[in-house]
Chains A and B, each alone.
Chain A
Amino acid sequence: MAVSRINEAGLNVNQYGNRNVIINGGFQIFQRATAATAQTDGNFLTADRWFGFVSGGGAYTTQKSTGNTGTISHDTAWKIDVTTADTSLAAGDYYSLVQKIEAQNLQQLAYGTSNAKTITLSFWVRATKTGTSCVCVTKNDTTQYNYVAEYTINASDTWEHKTITIEPNSDIKAASGAIVNDNGLGMQVTFVLAYGSNYTAGVNNTWNDSADFATTNQINHMDSTSNDFYLTGVQLEVGDTATDFEHRSFGDELARCQRYYFRIDADESYKRYANGVYYSTTAAETMIYLPVTMRAEPSFENTGTSTDYAFYDGTVRSISSNLALNAASDAGTMVISGTTSATTLGNGAIFLSNNNTNSFIAASAEL
């Protein structure tokens, strides 16, 4: 029998897809590194789409955590390990974990209109320190507004599920609350580890238009090298209720991450990266078709050592200089050129790792 119309009342909202605007909220994807890596300020280093802010006397590493399934239905999580304690925060110190969200993925929030939607953030957290912590949702476009919310870690080193519902206020419903429908930054979610007093004048469950990302109740997760902080199952969705986490397939989540970062590691000594041609006797260019269209024309990342790479035209020719992007690059392709020892103009050229397994190529179009 043909179905002419699906009755929405008969559907479980948890069956709806594409609810979660957070990418890699379950921390499945780690293209850059899975092992403990010292966080530097504002840089993407381990989990895709996530980075850390760190400024002050303290330090922490991030890494992939596995084996959490029995407790929380998430095998993977992001582990933060304090490696240098900061027991006395200066006013300008900050330590936090952040994901930025592309503006055109947020239009369903209808921010900047009287129809602005309530949204709900939910996540699993496990921390050594108990007490009050803050999460901040920042609406970046037009006028920046921060929504600061407290949550409580009740038990040490125990997974707990938290839910925060964020209602739009009059500022968010006004024109200044708009999120421009483009490929730029629309919103960011910040999990606070510790912030100095310059940033802690926020009021719980309230929007502000200043640089306040936490309240004064925020505990200091950075005050001991015994402290760990784990995060997973992060979901941000329209509505006043946290639905079950939207588990996506690994391939789906990887493709979403690759809109912002794509990487190939040399898993063999002469890893082939791309094909091309010698356009002069000493210079070749090769084209890499990116697996998904990226957010913007990407930067090309490499080891920085030209001789880690080569072009092969029947003879392996080390790249001597000028490993660079050419004009034909766009959000779907990278065209990489370099100069080598002389060969015949018009020869084919395979871009490859030059007898090493430490090289890589990556395309980065992060927000």
Chain B
Amino acid sequence: MLNIISNAKYNKDPISEQNVSISCVMNGRNVCVPISEDNTDYQAILEWAEEDGNEIQAAE
């Protein structure tokens, strides 16, 4: 299946100030995905980000 992902952007933890999750729209789902290798949404984002032209925006 082809994952359709848009508006991917990192979120920082307010205490550690590290990137901890990625907000995006994935196949029509508004979702905030943890940076966790066991999470299949995160696996899909990594796959998507490897394609030319796709980029996860930095946290604000």
Contacts and interface: CB of A to CB of B under 8 A. Distances in A.
Interface of A: 40-43, 53, 55, 183-184, 279-280, 283, 285, 295-304, 321-329, 337, 364-367
30 contacts: A42-B3, A42-B27, A184-B38, A279-B14, A295-B38, A296-B39, A297-B34, A298-B39, A299-B41, A299-B42, A300-B21, A301-B30, A302-B32, A304-B25, A322-B60, A323-B23, A323-B32, A324-B21, A324-B32, A325-B11, A325-B20, A325-B33, A326-B14, A326-B21, A329-B34, A364-B41, A365-B38, A365-B39, A365-B40, A366-B40
Nearest to B60: A322
A55 B20 CA distance: 34
Interface residues of B, number: 28
B18 to A, nearest CB: 7
A186 to B, nearest CB: 14
A279 to B, nearest CB: 6
A245 to B, nearest CB: 29
B1 A53 contact: yes
A301 B27 CA distance: 12
A326 B20 contact: yes
A101 to B, nearest CB: 14
Contacts of B58: none
Given A296-B38, A297-B34, A299-B34, A327 B27 contact: no
Contacts of B25: 304
B40 A367 contact: yes
A296 B41 CA distance: 11
B28 A43 contact: yes
Contacts of B1: 41-42, 53, 55
Contacts of A41: 1-2
A366 to B, nearest CB: 6
B13 A327 contact: yes
B34 A285 contact: no
Nearest to B2: A41
Nearest to A329: B34
B36 interface: yes
Interface string B3-30: 1000000010111101011010101111
**6 pairs of A and B residues whose beta carbons are closest in the complex:** A304-B30, A42-B1, A296-B38, A327-B13, A324-B11, A325-B21
Contacts of A324: 11, 21, 23, 32
B59 to A, nearest CB: 9
B46 interface: no
A40 B34 contact: no
A327 B28 contact: no
Nearest to B39: A296
Nearest to A53: B1
B38 A280 contact: no
Contacts of B23: 323-324
Nearest to A325: B21
A4 to B, nearest CB: 44
A190 B60 CA distance: 43
